[in-house]
Amino acid sequence: METTQASQKSARRRLTVILIKPSKYDDEGYVIRHFRGVLPSNTLACLYGLTEALKERNAFGKDCSIETKIFDDTVQKVPVKKIIRSQCLPANRTVVALVGVQSNQFPRAADLARKFREGGLQVLIGGFHVSGALSLSQNISPEIQELIDLGVSVVKGEVEDTWGSILGDALEDNLKPLYDFLDKKPDLCNQPVPMIHRRYLKRFVTSNFGTIDCSRGCPYNCSFCTIINVQGKAMRTRSADALARTMRENLRRHGIYYYFFTDDNFSRNSNWRKIFEMLIRLREEENIRIQFMMQVDTQSYKIPDFIKLAAGAGCTQVFIGMESINPDNLKAAGKAQNRVKEYRDMILAWHTAKIATHAAYIIGFPFDTPESVQADVTALKDELGVEQASFFMLTPIPGSYDHARMLHAGVYMDPDLNKFDSFHETTRHPNFAPGEWYAAYRKAWSSFYSYEYMRQTLARANPQNYWNIFRNFIWYKNSAFIEGGHPMLHGFFRLRDRCDRRPGFVVESRMKHYARRCRELRHLAREWISLILVMEELWLQTRKRSEAELRLTAELKRIRQEANRSLHAAELRLAYLRAKAHVPDLCIPSRLTFALRDFNLTLAKRVTYSRADLQGFWNRTWKSWRRRQLFKIRPHRILLNFMRDVQLLVLFMRALQRAEP
């Protein structure tokens, strides 16, 4: 009996599938990795879902178990050595799949692939770089050929229909050098839906935020885009029922209720109406109140019912492919569907439905100049009034018509794919001197995300959207100004692995590295303190106040003017009583609360519209200290103002966390 069991055990095979989403290197050769990310990878979830579906139906027979492990290089260290060691187990086949590799991530992915190949593991690579680079060219580009020569298998196209057969080949240790599925685009209707992994989700700032693609493809012809040449112009869509099942499950298991629909163009998804109606039904019949943001084109506002149903379905923000406000640029980019004259009506249509707008804006089109870029940013703010903008530098991404044309014409392109992330100059622009293009791009960010524009935007935001916009501002300010990169790449609190440095960069000694890290951390702490204070001030100035609170503040102001000094407890109580006469549901605090007013959080919030007076006090105190005019410093005022500042900070943090005024 024992022998039979042992032989049965040894006959059992195991396939370990390691799914890795590679990150990219920064300009100093360190992997861009954060303690907490913002957007979980949809491609990772997609391949995880496909693998789990194979596992569930015992795709390789009952004697073969499948184990899936997922790693996201952008938020965690990939344990390369440990993965290689695990291959040594008997009857175990391990395959490493580098997933969703974009051009800017290709160098990092290639370095990981080399290490795994050196360890003797089977390696697959797929995603937009290999699919795009091989879509418009008959020849295999050198960087991809190099990987094939190392024994890495390259997968071109989507794999919903074919993932099982690829893994079957891996099980037999018989992977092909190149899999080409570009002409066999899968119908998505009843395919397994991206599946979210609980532990993975914990690595993101908000664990109730998910990504999902409801459709693929885009019917337009933009010359800078690779999607049309990889996913095609014919839209393919998931069924509303499958999406509903996933959303219910994600809410139940992970508490996810906010989604980023990653579809490149949700408005051209032929199933949009059914999906919106499904989301409305979830709200009305099951009280599942999903919220989401989606990407749309500039013409989508004209589709009958589209905006109305989007609002009803829970859309809070649209990411609009505006790209430029210069018609000549749009023409040059093959984006004839964008009509600049209609932009204002379009934004108004979304605003009327209380949906915030986020413009995708590309800098470096043929007719751009340093001056025109700044004028365009001003127009985005003052004429169009979009709540947010994401700026990109025009980049000839492999797989786009721009790249094919430039390659054919022998135009200079930077050979380092790591820079193809849309915030590096990768070609030369006739209207910008070297460095000037990047400077114009940086200036666009600082001009758009100025204090004054953020204040205006938050002041006019509708209450349902206030916190979404506010939190996005924190994310964008952190990425663009503290991390110095692009929000679509950066999360919170940058990690730097001393040893995981790009080949060609020297690994620093421990001493040198930690001394540098200390300086960086000090700088980071300073930047974060000032960001928090700026955001606190924005909140104080713009937060949505109830009628009761407005009435109360007016009363307080009136009494204070009459008294011309800070108010006594009895006067504060009088203000409450007067306000209550107009707003009966106003709750009056106890007498003790009034007596302890300086330490009372509720009162502090209600009477403060700005911390300018506190800031003024700290500036004056600091000045006196530096001039050694110690007689001007009052310790009791320092203590009291410190208490007030802490109170406000606590209130701000609580409001931010709970998304309440």
Residues making contact with ligand B12 (CB under 6 A): 24, 39-43, 46, 97, 99-100, 102-105, 124-129, 131-132, 155, 158-160, 166, 211, 213, 216, 225-227, 231, 262, 264, 392, 397-399, 421-422, 488-489
Token pair in block for residue 611: 């911390």
Give which of 418, 417, 361, 411 is closest to 386, Cα–Cα: 361
**DSSP designation for 381:** I
CB of 155 to ligand B12, least distance (A): 4
CB of 646 to ligand B12, least distance (A): 36
CB of 24 to ligand B12, least distance (A): 5
Integer Rg of the chain from CA: 28
CB of 123 to ligand B12, least distance (A): 9
Give which of 496, 487, 553, 549 is closest to 519, Cα–Cα: 496
Q: Which is nearer to ligand B12, 25 or 350 (CB)?
A: 25
Q: Which is nearer to ligand B12, 495 or 614 (CB)?
A: 495
Q: Which is nearer to ligand B12, 485 or 617 (CB)?
A: 485
Token pair 């119908």 in the structure block, residue: 187
What one-character-per-residue DSSP string does 293-332 give? EEEE-TTGGGSTTHHHHHHHHTEEEEEEEEE-S-HHHHHH
CB of 491 to ligand B12, least distance (A): 10
The SS3 assignment for 265 reads: coil
CB of 186 to ligand B12, least distance (A): 7
How many Å apart are CA 44 and CA 78, to the nearest integer?
Answer: 14
How many Å apart are CA 640 and CA 500, to the nearest integer?
Answer: 48
Q: Which is nearer to ligand B12, 314 or 399 (CB)?
A: 399
Other CB atoms within 10 Å distance of the CB of residue 469: 20
Other CB atoms within 10 Å distance of the CB of residue 184: 12
Q: Which is nearer to ligand B12, 131 or 298 (CB)?
A: 131
CB of 418 to ligand B12, least distance (A): 10
Other CB atoms within 10 Å distance of the CB of residue 569: 14
How many Å apart are CA 99 and CA 513, to the nearest integer?
Answer: 31
Q: Which is nearer to ligand B12, 213 or 555 (CB)?
A: 213
CB of 442 to ligand B12, least distance (A): 16
Measured at CB, which residue is nearest to ligand B12? 126
Q: Which is nearer to ligand B12, 216 or 611 (CB)?
A: 216
Q: Which is nearer to ligand B12, 399 or 600 (CB)?
A: 399
Token pair 């709750």 in the structure block, residue: 587
Q: Which is nearer to ligand B12, 213 or 368 (CB)?
A: 213
Q: Are 94 and 43 within 8 A, CB to CB?
A: no
Q: How many CA atoms lie within 13 A of 254 on its CB side?
A: 23
Q: Which is nearer to ligand B12, 264 or 368 (CB)?
A: 264
CB of 475 to ligand B12, least distance (A): 11
Distances (CA, A) of 78 to 23, 108, 254, 478, 583: 10, 12, 24, 25, 58
What one-character-per-residue DSSP string does 211-226 give? EE-SEE--S---TT-S
CB of 625 to ligand B12, least distance (A): 45
